[in-house]
Amino acid sequence: MKINKIAAFVTVVIVMMMYLPLGASAASGVHFTVSEVQSEGNSTIIFDGQKWYKVNDFDDDKEYIITVKNSHGEKMAVTIADDENSSCIWNYYRQTMVASSTPRYTTLTTSLPGGFYYLVCSGEKVRYAYTRSVSGDLVWDHYGSTLRYNEAGTYSYLKYDEESDEPLSFTSNQLEAAEVDIYTNGDQLERCIISQPHAANYVIEDSNYTAPVFNVGLGDVHLDSIKWYVDNELQSCSEMCFTADVLKDKKAGVHRVYCLVEASDDKGIRYRERSEDALFVIAKGVVPDSVMTFSDIHEEYYRIGDAIGNIIERTGGYIPSLVICTGDFVNGPKAETDIMMSRYYPRIVAELGGLDAVFVSGNHDSGEAASAMSSAADLGANDKQPPSGGQIFNGRSDAVSSKGRNSLYARNIIVYGMNQESVMIPKDGTIDYTYENVIGDIRNFLDSTAKNYHGELVIISAHTGLHALGIDPASVNRVGMQLSSWIGENQYNIDKSYELAALINSYAKNYNMDIMYLFGHDHSRGEAEMFLTSGDELVSPKSYKEITTDKQTIDFTYAHAGYLSTSIGSADTSFSFIYRDGNEFEYDLIRTSDNYTRHTVINAKNVPEVPVVTTTSTTSATTSTSLVTTSAISGSKTDNPKTGDSVNAVFFAVPVLLLLLSRKKKR
């Protein structure tokens, strides 16, 4: 797509900016100075007839006015000027779509009719263009009451001397730093939401469920106003707790609930934030032994809800038994665990709408965070899940029986999550990408699973693949053309891939196991719709450094999970929906943007004996169903998933014909 090409080009240019000297053809007399702004109390300034509000720190791609105080206590705006014009509005930019190991990079930029200018720290001087290379982090932040610049771990602070001809400079001594405030305007000011609204669970159509309740949690602020919206329509509630009566008695589908909060604190900071959409899911039932899985969401979390809604639409009202989220939840350099858990995980949960989900980290994520997220789901994950990953779901576990919701109907699914940390080995100041440390863990998992195997579908969910990118004949771009002879990056052609593939193959053959290896990651190199199954040849790297590969005929399914974002390369809003139909698996790769579907039928080796489906109702007896004949769980009495009220609801296993007829396109 043209947009993706443009985004890739911009990324390349920005990376070059970090490492190459930049010269700017500046207009005559361009210099830094300060200019007066009108203050309205401690929290507001007026500029060009508009109000700007005091905030704590910079946020992505927003405009700011940066002020210092003179000896009279007046606020003066950091300004760039030439002979005729001046500007004090600075755009803050954080580089995001880059490799996870790329240094952090932010800029403050402004423009005049004569050109485009940066705020640059160059020793003790202020410059408007980069004149030397930058080899590490380059980060601006509002630190306490200072404007701080971090270059590769060395900190400098903005200094203001109103008596000087050049009033602005930098110092390494924080005690000499100017007292700095920053102001912004627009739809979002400072963030204040610390607990996102979300639905605790899905509900069943016509089950007499009570109106769902949504809560938002705020930091230490004074609430000025709050507005709630359902499907973008303003509601009458103005409290932090919202009972959505409008969502009662709706038919199967998805609805989005969010709030807009305005607040302030004792320091004069102004807050305005829109919450994440809280997906509210109304279903007719659950598709037994089904999985919705995707990779590379890259902060476009609303697409998770889009995918769930797509499944509900194409099945006539039914939801998947399990969601598997396979890495790259965020953008940019690798996110720390605390940031993942506090800022991003709640946004993902909000979009899941109460459906059971497990998580695998990508190269942009913390493996520790992904393991914590899967452990929090508590659906058969191994105890004390390490950052490298492990078993994250077992449909026949006691945990699923006692805590599962839709996953109660994924009794014949087992999932192993391979976090990206397990593939990355620091060596001599660089990173080696190898499955060396993974092979033993996978062998132990498969060995344990084989000893207690009852025909379940075993999914190995990993961020990276096992094939030689570009060399394997199935490694193609969107139009079906071979990528290249060899993609020369270790993180795409990983050492010992052949050995790991051979190990998985041996268990698939020797124990007659139904195994699927599902991965993502390769969208940034333009690969699309990789799919191999039993009887196909898989070409895998043996050694990256020696550029050696080998091929083997596989006895398992090997496929992209889908790239649910739109960022870079072949990412095209796609996800996978997999479900069992007797002695077959139906595998749909679905694109939410246009509903394009690649449908594949995979012969199952086993038709498992279906165990009793246990509900959490305090009054109902357990019942069973045949997934082969897709008969109903007739008259089972189950808890209402939202309220816990005991209600009569009939869960149907979706007739496969209904799914087939709903497809818009097959291949």
Are 404 and 547 members of one domain?
yes
Spatial contact of 591 and 570, defined as CB atoms under 8 Å apart: no
- CA end-to-end distance (rounded Å), the chain: 21
261 with 216: CB under 8 angstroms? yes
Same domain for 143 and 216? Answer: no
SS3 199: coil
Q: Is 504 left (phi over 0), alpha (psi -120 to 50) or beta?
A: alpha
What is the reported pLDDT for 617? 31
Between CA 191 and CA 331 the distance in angstroms is 19
- Of 565, 587, 585, give the one whose Cα is nearest residue 667: 587
Residue 623 lies in a domain: no
Considering the domain architecture, whether residues 198 and 312 belong to the same structural domain is answered as: no
Per-residue H/E/C for 617-664: CCCCCCECCCCCCCCCECCCEEECCCCCCEEECCECCCCHHHHHHHCC
Most distant pair of Cα atoms in the chain: their distance: 86
155 and 14 part of one domain: yes
| Pair of tokens at residue 479 | 């139009």
| Same domain? 369 vs 497 | yes
Asked if residue 604 is part of any domain, the answer here is yes
- CA–CA distance, 163 with 160 (Å, rounded to integer): 9
Domain that holds residue 197: 193-274
Q: Which residues have a Cβ under 8 Å from the Cβ of 595 and sit 6 or more positions away?
A: 310, 664, 665
108 domain residue, yes or no: yes
Measured distance CA(359)–CA(341) in Å, rounded: 12
Residue 486 belongs to a domain: yes
- Residue 356: CB atoms within 10 A of its CB come to 24
- pLDDT tens for residues 321-371? 999 999 999 988 888 899 899 999 999 999 999 999 999 999 999 999 999
Residue 282 lies in a domain: no
The answer to whether residue 280 sits within a structural domain is no
User: Which residue type does 479 have?
Assistant: V
Regarding whether 293 and 205 lie in a shared domain, the answer is no
Helix, coil or strand: residue 196? coil
Asked if residue 366 is part of any domain, the answer here is yes
Q: Which residues pair with 46 in a beta bridge?
A: 38, 51
Asked if residue 219 and residue 180 are part of one domain, the reply reads no
Query: What are the residues whose beta carbons fall under 8 Å from the beta carbon of 57, sequence distance 6 or more?
Result: 141, 142, 182, 190
How long, in residues, is the chain? 667
What Å distances lie between residue 334 and 99, 331, 339, CA to CA? 8, 8, 10
Sign of CA dihedral 354, 356, 361, 367: positive
**182: number of Cβ within 10 Å:** 22
Predicted local distance difference test score (pLDDT) of residue 1:
36
- Give the domain-ending residue among 247, 274, 301: 274
What is the pLDDT at residue 196? 96
Q: Say which residue the tokens 């079906």 belong to.
A: 480
Split the chain (667 residues) into runs of 10 and give each run's mean pLDDT. 40 42 54 93 91 95 95 94 94 85 90 92 90 78 96 95 94 96 95 95 95 96 97 97 97 98 95 97 97 96 97 97 95 87 94 97 93 94 88 96 96 97 88 94 97 96 96 91 88 96 98 97 92 97 95 98 92 96 95 95 90 38 27 29 31 47 41
Residue 170 sits in the same domain as residue 197: no
Give the Cα separation of 403 and 392 in Å (integer): 14
What gap in Å lies between CA 535 and CA 540, rounded to an integer?
A: 15
Q: Both 390 and 469 in a single domain?
A: yes
Final residue of a structural domain among 135, 166, 184: 184
Run of H or E residues at 357: strand 357-360
pLDDT at 15: 42
Q: Work out how many domains the chain is built from and give that number.
A: 3
Say which CATH number the domain at 566 has.
3.60.21.10
Say how many C-beta atoms besides its own lie within 10 A of residue 227's C-beta.
16
- Same domain assignment for residues 429 and 547: yes
Q: Which helix (H) or strand (E) holds 348?
A: helix 345-352
Question: What local confidence, expressed as pLDDT, does residue 108 receive?
Answer: 96
Residues 432 and 555 in one domain: yes
Cα atoms in the Cβ-side hemisphere of radius 13 Å centred on 285:
23
CB 331, CB 298: distance < 8 Å: yes
Say how far residue 97 (Cα) sits from the centre of its chain: 13
Instruction: Specify if 583 maps to a domain.
Output: yes
CB count in 10 Å sphere of residue 4: 18
The pLDDT of residue 338: 92
pLDDT at 667: 39
The answer to whether 641 and 355 are in contact (CB under 8 A) is no
On whether both 268 and 301 belong to a single domain, the answer is no
